[in-house]
Structure 1
């Protein structure tokens, strides 16, 4: 039998195949990087809606209503441009350059290289070569809405008689609500304010916290095998972290659990 065993030699060997056992390669989990789509920006030619003062810089457009923008005229006045189709951005004469002056105030320059200001009669013009007190605007954000306040404490609006751009009303109502759209490149990251441990699905979050708090005597992760439905329920009820700690304590895998 011993000679037979030597001849049989086990499994078939192919030419060039090594006798050394093959190491199994770990398959890395592919993280889905599905880009976040801003449908509102897409419908405006990829001009996105600003939501805070520091975003109002570079190329911008001031929108009244839906896809109608403040338009510069060659005589230094401004009017409301014609409505654009869905998916279309503002025209060149409707594009302004925003300049941050302070944490609260900005200035706007037209395509004619002149700064917007409010005249004594409340008319908005673009004839200034430099930024002074009259060329400064304060974006006022409140409850997801925006109004632009001029140096005269009046808000930007449209004259209903001739579509001229004015600032004559000291109280911001529906007619004074605007949207300032930007075209500068931005990185959309919905998780930027979410702690690293909180990123991922329920299972991944539990693994993240185990890695953070586990006592690594044997360098092996101890993950609860209980159903994660209880964790999902706890998250909805606001007791997510307590539930995670309870699961880790049952596994005796947390340095804060006795």
Structure 2
């Protein structure tokens, strides 16, 4: 005797029954790719910078060391920089993750990168504690115990073709991972060349990468106000007699000033009247 099994799912009167659709071959791969693309587009997603100008905001710095991958941490309790093995703190979800896909799992692994607008150098500040700056003295000693920024707290990031980043200090030496007595690892800042120990993987949040792109476009005039081409403007609005156009340094400065003050049309009319009077005098 067969027993009919009824679904326990609640249904409301008038609700239409949805038909299940079989997943076609290859559809699963496309949906997963689309899902990954959506995740990569999220503001808080950790991504690798393509240019030095993109390195800003929360920053995750790690390196494929000879022994095991390590990241630069700051121990706020002891006030010291620590080089922590990534595999030691790896959780089940990240054990099978490739090195370039690693993301920070603790706030002590995150540094905050700031820069002065237009400057190639950056400052690296601890993300925990009172916010101390990463610095390097003339002897190559690296520390994070200064609350104010100065020349020794400035770093110039250099992005290589393989996507790895080197940090050069004010003395034109590179930040590196050095092995000291007892097999301990520590940061140094006295390397002359950017080799394997001087290169790091850097990850930033996607929102700051997009912000850098927007600033670049704005600087190039793609998103901001269109630059004023006096020659073209004169030909359209002020040309007469075989489209004669007069351009001078003084007029250019005057028009730019008038544009900032919101009286560009008035200034151009005054200039046209002046040019006509000079012509017939």
Given the two structures, how large is their TM-score scaled by the length of structure 1? 0.52
In the alignment, the residues of structure 2 paired with residue 123 and residue 149 of structure 1 have an alpha-carbon distance, to the nearest angstrom, of: 14
1:143 aligns with 2:161: yes
Partner of residue 187 from structure 2, selected from 150, 165, 181 = 165
> 3-state DSSP class of the match of 1:127?
strand
Partner of 2:22: none
Given that 2:45 and 2:206 are in contact with CA atoms closer than 8 Å, whether structure 1 keeps it comes out as no
In the alignment, the residues of structure 2 paired with residue 177 and residue 94 of structure 1 have an alpha-carbon distance, to the nearest angstrom, of: 17
> 3-state DSSP class of the match of 1:134?
helix
Structure 2 residue ranges without an equivalent (≥5)? 1-30, 215-281
List aligned pairs for 1:118-157, cutoff 5 A: 118-144=136-162, 145-157=164-176
| Cα deviation digits, residues 39-83 of structure 1 (max 9, x gap) | 9x7xxx942111212211111111111753101123433121121
1:50 aligns with 2:52: no
Partner of 1:37: 37
> 3-state DSSP class of the match of 1:104?
coil
Larger radius of gyration: 1
Partner of 2:103: 89
In structure 2, relative to structure 1, the CA distance for the partners of 1:186 and 1:97 (3 Å cut) is: closer
> 3-state DSSP class of the match of 2:165?
strand
Deviates more, 1:67-76 or 1:158-167: 67-76
In structure 2, relative to structure 1, the CA distance for the partners of 1:104 and 1:77 (3 Å cut) is: same
> 3-state DSSP class of the match of 2:175?
strand
List aligned pairs for 1:1-258, cutoff 5 A: 34=34, 37=37, 46-65=45-64, 68-74=70-76, 75-84=78-87, 85=90, 86=94, 87=97, 89-90=103-104, 91-101=106-116, 102-110=118-126, 111-112=128-129, 113-144=131-162, 145-161=164-180, 162-185=184-207
In the alignment, the residues of structure 1 paired with residue 69 and residue 48 of structure 2 have an alpha-carbon distance, to the nearest angstrom, of: 12
Given the two structures, how large is their TM-score scaled by the length of structure 2? 0.48
Given that 2:55 and 2:209 are in contact with CA atoms closer than 8 Å, whether structure 1 keeps it comes out as no
> 3-state DSSP class of the match of 1:153?
coil
In structure 2, relative to structure 1, the CA distance for the partners of 1:156 and 1:78 (3 Å cut) is: same
In structure 2, relative to structure 1, the CA distance for the partners of 1:59 and 1:186 (3 Å cut) is: closer
Bigger fraction of residues in helix: 2
Given that 1:47 and 1:182 are in contact with CA atoms closer than 8 Å, whether structure 2 keeps it comes out as yes
In the alignment, the residues of structure 1 paired with residue 168 and residue 149 of structure 2 have an alpha-carbon distance, to the nearest angstrom, of: 16
In the alignment, the residues of structure 1 paired with residue 158 and residue 81 of structure 2 have an alpha-carbon distance, to the nearest angstrom, of: 21
CA RMSD of aligned residues (A): 3.2
C-alpha displacement of 1:36: 5.9
In the alignment, the residues of structure 2 paired with residue 116 and residue 186 of structure 1 have an alpha-carbon distance, to the nearest angstrom, of: 21
Task: Figure out how many residues of one structure are paired with residues of the other and give that number.
Answer: 155
In the alignment, the residues of structure 1 paired with residue 201 and residue 38 of structure 2 have an alpha-carbon distance, to the nearest angstrom, of: 15
| Cα deviation digits, residues 128-172 of structure 1 (max 9, x gap) | 112111100000123233211111211111121221111110111
C-alpha displacement of 1:182: 0.9
In structure 2, relative to structure 1, the CA distance for the partners of 1:187 and 1:157 (3 Å cut) is: closer
